[in-house]
Amino acid sequence: MNVEMKKKMGVPTSRPIAYFLPTISIKATDFAAEITNVNVYNTTQIEETFLCHINIHYTQK
């Protein structure tokens, strides 16, 4: 995919595409990645809490 974008934008294959993108595009990508990290962290926390409650429920019997 990176090669296709470089061709469309006229970026040499030896140069990073980030050098040719507007700063806002790079920041938007960073923001999207951070949102993904937060969602993964939150999902993990919810799963761990759920498993902990199940474990407590079955060990108290």
Checking if the pLDDT of 44 tops 80, the result is yes
- Residue 10 region by backbone torsions, left for phi larger than 0, else alpha for psi between -120 and 50, else beta: left
Q: What is the pTM of this model?
A: 0.52
- Average pLDDT for the chain: 87
Gap between the Cα atoms of 61 and 56, Å rounded:
9
Encoding tokens for residue 57? 């429920």
What does the pLDDT average to over 25-47?
90
Q: Please name the amino acid found at residue 1.
A: M
Closest CA to 1 of 20, 25, 15, 17: 17
Checking if the pLDDT of 60 tops 80, the result is no
Identify the three-state secondary structure at position 30: helix
